[in-house]
Structure 1
Amino acid sequence: MSVIIKRPEIKSVDFCVDENIWGHRLYDEQLPHLAVLEFLGVLGSNLDRPLKLRDEDGGTAKFKPQRQIRLRGLLFNNPYVESIADGAASDEEKWRQWFDRFAQGATGNGDADMAYLRSSFASFDDFAKAIELLRSSSFESRSNKRWSSKFVFPFGPDALYEDLEIDSRGKMSNDRRFFARTGELLYLMLARSKRGGELGAILAKRLFNREAPMNRLARALQGDPQHADDPRLAGYLPEATNPRFDQTCEDWLSILARDMPIYDALEHLIAISGINMLLYFLERAKKVAGDDDPVEIVCEIVSKERTKVRALSGDSYQFNQGLPAKAVRAHVESIRLDAGWVAAASAEFPEAEQVKLMRERFQWPPADGGGDDDYTGKSPDALVMDLVENALARHEQHVGKIHAAWSRAIGLSSRRLSRRTRYAPNDRLLKSIVVSIVDDRMQFDEFLTEAKRRYGLILGDAEGSRLLDAKLVDQEELSENRNNLETRLVGLGLVRRLSDSCSFVENPFAFKGEAAC
């Protein structure tokens, strides 16, 4: 049984229900690539003890994020650099024009004096090309997000910074929209895993090389790093240990052991982090709702023909989509079964004791009566029902959308050739799963077994034995789905068929020779 860490008071919320179950916080708008970027920012602030928690920090991590106002302004709030570079003016005149234009939009947060750029680049055209190169490799560079919420690829320590909102007067705030603390929870998950320290040492060495060419380019644009004024504590993660934390760490170590550049590995780390955090979300929901069965993800390998597997995949998706709301209701209502709640019934003032217990558990109801809502005079049972209603309403706004948003973002779900969403993994996700699972080569059936063990993926008839026993699908249809996957992986160069009954999944980044059947 895992140890639940005592939750601190969370002043930014009216009550703690989602936070008690999953931590503070998981958020739908913080997609896996943003979670990994936020994670790297926390890691970069703890390079003296990467993924090792200090006792004095109370089981969490302390960090001081970078802000890099100059770098992000040059990349994403500088639309005129290209037109100036393309002009026929002299180099001196180009610099003058650009300094004038950039000063007009400066925020006043260390970006008023940009004269250092003249000594960092041989010419204005070189400066413009450097911006074009880094901008072209950034995340969501063409999105309509505010410029202060766009991110350069994490080429090294100088390219990392937190999400910010900067108003017209230059006032900065981290409004927790795109860096909502999900990356902080990922840091805590990995730090609490059995091999977290080992992973931290590898990441510190490979991802935080200040002399890497692209990081040097980012440093030339940014100049000296800019940090937040004060250190802060990472978010709240309820469990001290969890098998999913260990699996996520093992997957990261596996991917980092492959024969590929670290920047290529990041794509796979993001996908694998996404599926593991999605499984953490669903597994915690099932556990809190009182369901001990493992999470199942029935996957259709898309084919032109409509099959029973497609319908089952849609059913699997809808079932998992409903799990978090069940957990919210169960978590609130479970207080009635608490020993303290039962004992309070025989106290001198039973209702007061039960309300006190609710405040301890949920930070609710408010002691002042509740502002616009008056909770005074209500019975504890009525308060429980009110909290269920309020918690479900808030849950639907963001946390309840995580399953849909994350599964789509990592390529696990799709509506292709179908009216409803179902699990249908795309090629990029399948490749990341192969890179994570297969060291060198592995028999295809063993690969399917391992994919189910790690990620709950049901892809063939052996993995779908429960569905067969329940007569929800014919073995022939699941076997056909299995064959469709094999054909797809052959097309991706990830499976080699040695005979009709012997196929091997091969990791293209760890190939070591021939295998015998």
Structure 2
Amino acid sequence: MSGLIKDVDFAVDERIWGHRLYDEQLPHLTVLEFLCVFGSNLKKPLVDGAADGVTYQPQRQFRLRELLFNNPIVEMVRGQAISDEDKWKRWAEIFKEESFNSRDEDMSYLRHVFSTFEDFARAIELLRSSAFEARSNKRWSSKFVFPFGPDALYEDLRVDAKGGASNDRRFFARTGELLYLMLSRAKNGPLLGQQLAERLFDSSAPMNRLVRAMQGEPQFASQPRMIPHHHLPYSELERFDQLCDDWLAILSLDMPVYDALEHLIAITGLNLLLYFLERAKAQLGDERPAELVCEIVSRERTKVRAISGESYHANQSLSPAAVRAAIEKVQKEPRWVEAEQSDHRSERCAEILHELFQWPPLGGANGKPGKALVDELIVSTLSRHEQHFGKIHSTWSRAIGLSSRRSSRRYRYAPNDALLKSLVVTIVPDRMQFDEFLTEAKRRYGIVIGDFEGNHLVTSKKIDQEALGDNRQNLEARLVGLGLVRRLSDSCSFVENPFGSKEMI
């Protein structure tokens, strides 16, 4: 798929990965943006049928986010020794004076929703405590309540000094839009759409009703948004199907949807990270699956640490190499060779680059040779790549608990307990033999832990079999400690999903 990518000077990263993956939009923010798109398409969720792309009109929910994140006076008034009536009056006066959006709003509806000011204050306290990054120093318009239901979803905003608000592309940078396109292109996308709508978009759910009481009628962006199909340059990929099937597996469990979201976010981050690595490898002509050699941290330093670090840093170098390869390979195309032999070679080469990467501007070749144009584009693209796309692997792997430099001077893959639990919840429907679990983790996500999965590393003498065997035992011990593995004998262990069937083995 190809098409004009607006608001970019040159589209190299976008041609490889889509418009756009963004390092500062961490997996939880990606899922929140995805849900905003999803909520506008509940009639046909995750159905990739529109000719031009996907349209959505996100909520803004000014009242809700101001009450939760731009309302420090509620605690002050709550603690004053005055009557309940005076507390309401005092709070309303100060809030109207200091708030951004509500100075022109009638907030008296809150008096009819909450019996007392104390109930109002407690509701705010409860919803604040559930928020993502509640204690961060982010501006109030970029803080997000937990997605309890359709009324709790809204887009990221930038608020200016004059009281104007516009959608911001820093934390909602379109990665959630890409996620929507990916899942809508998966084979089981429509099935996931139905299940997600039923489980997460129930407006009658108790916590959503509390959010609705706080917000009142929804507030929407003034204009709908369009996600063109060409923003995701692949019509189908196995990774899209795997991501979708992982969501379905988690949603099928006997688990409250609010708890399931934690695992959905982690497994989405892992799949998007692998998509990033796999597209880079494809651009480089490397057909081998992406691989994550993971150290299972134990009390003693392990031999796996060094090779895990090598695996991490090899993957970190993939994306800049892919960018360079994407640009350089144009010089091998027959039409490029023909262009360089023509009387107007500079203009012809520039036209080819513009067609592929939206650069240089039409008529902007300035007589430069084709090789000089290629070199200039590489330098500019790599400089831009380092700012955001190039940080995705390092930032997201830390965010999902996949990488760490604990007890080490450099990063390596060392999954934490939360990620290990999400892997079990996603992979194991009920129970699974431990070695089968390791094989499936390798098949789905390229995760290498034990000696069987890492046999090629032993064969190439990068590490010995005993070290990987010890790594395998360390994982088993970790999962036993987490209550996720039951040992029947020294040679027989089962991984158990705590939300699966409770039948005995």
Distance 2:466 2:504 in 1: 31
Choose which of 466, 470, 482 in structure 2 pairs with 1:476: 466
Choose which of 288, 298, 306 in structure 2 pairs with 1:303: 298
Note if 1:293 corresponds to 2:288: yes
Name the counterpart of 1:198: 191
Choose which of 251, 256, 278 in structure 2 pairs with 1:256: 251
Instruction: Give the letter for the 1:331 counterpart.
Output: A
TM-score (norm 2): 0.98
Name the counterpart of 2:17: 22
Name the counterpart of 1:65: 58
Distance 2:171 2:60 in 1: 14
Give runs of aligned pairs for residues 90-239 of structure 1, distance below 5 A: 90-108=83-101, 112-234=105-227, 236-239=231-234
How far did residue 514 of structure 1 move?
A: 2.5
Contact in 2 for aligned 1:70/1:110 (Cα 8 Å): no
Name the counterpart of 1:40: 35
Distance 1:347 1:202 in 2: 58
Cα distance change of structure 1 residues 459 and 110 upon mapping to structure 2, 3 Å threshold: farther
How far did residue 303 of structure 1 move?
A: 1.5
Name the counterpart of 1:355: 350
Deviations 1:135-161 (A, max 9, x none): 110000100001000000000000000
Sequence identity, in percent? Answer: 64
Note if 1:463 corresponds to 2:459: no
How far did residue 346 of structure 1 move?
A: 4.6
Deviations 1:465-495 (A, max 9, x none): 1100110111000000000000000000000
User: Residue 15 of structure 2 aligns to a residue in which SS?
Assistant: helix
Paired positions, count: 503
Aligned-pair Cα RMSD in Å: 1.2
Distance 2:333 2:138 in 1: 45
How far did residue 347 of structure 1 move?
A: 4.2
How far did residue 109 of structure 1 move?
A: 6.7
Name the counterpart of 1:372: none
Contact in 2 for aligned 1:468/1:474 (Cα 8 Å): yes
Choose which of 313, 316, 319 in structure 2 pairs with 1:321: 316
Choose which of 268, 276, 282 in structure 2 pairs with 1:281: 276
Note if 1:507 corresponds to 2:502: no
Cα distance change of structure 1 residues 176 and 110 upon mapping to structure 2, 3 Å threshold: farther
User: Residue 107 of structure 1 aligns to a residue in which SS?
Assistant: coil
How far did residue 376 of structure 1 move?
A: 1.3
Deviations 1:332-364 (A, max 9, x none): 111112233233245452332211111111111
Deviations 1:417-467 (A, max 9, x none): 111110000000000000000011100000000000000000000000110
Instruction: Give the letter for the 1:402 counterpart.
Output: I
How far did residue 314 of structure 1 move?
A: 0.4
Instruction: Give the letter for the 1:245 counterpart.
Output: F
How far did residue 107 of structure 1 move?
A: 2.1
**Which 5+ residue runs of structure 1 have no aligned equivalent?**
370-374
Choose which of 409, 424, 429 in structure 2 pairs with 1:419: 409
Name the counterpart of 2:48: 53
Distance 1:209 1:347 in 2: 64
Distance 2:195 2:10 in 1: 39
Cα distance change of structure 1 residues 144 and 86 upon mapping to structure 2, 3 Å threshold: same
Distance 2:100 2:301 in 1: 56
Deviations 1:246-296 (A, max 9, x none): 000000000001111000000000000000000000000111122111111
How far did residue 304 of structure 1 move?
A: 2.5
Give runs of aligned pairs for residues 234-245 of structure 1, distance below 5 A: 234=227, 236-245=231-240
Note if 1:75 corresponds to 2:68: yes
How far did residue 414 of structure 1 move?
A: 0.6
How far did residue 14 of structure 1 move?
A: 1.1
How far did residue 114 of structure 1 move?
A: 1.2
User: Residue 137 of structure 2 aligns to a residue in which SS?
Assistant: coil
Distance 1:333 1:291 in 2: 16
Cα distance change of structure 1 residues 109 and 99 upon mapping to structure 2, 3 Å threshold: closer
Distance 1:146 1:23 in 2: 28
TM-score (norm 1): 0.95
Give runs of aligned pairs for residues 433-444 of structure 1, distance below 5 A: 433-444=423-434
Deviations 1:291-337 (A, max 9, x none): 11111100000022222200000000000000000001001111112
Instruction: Give the letter for the 1:241 counterpart.
Output: E
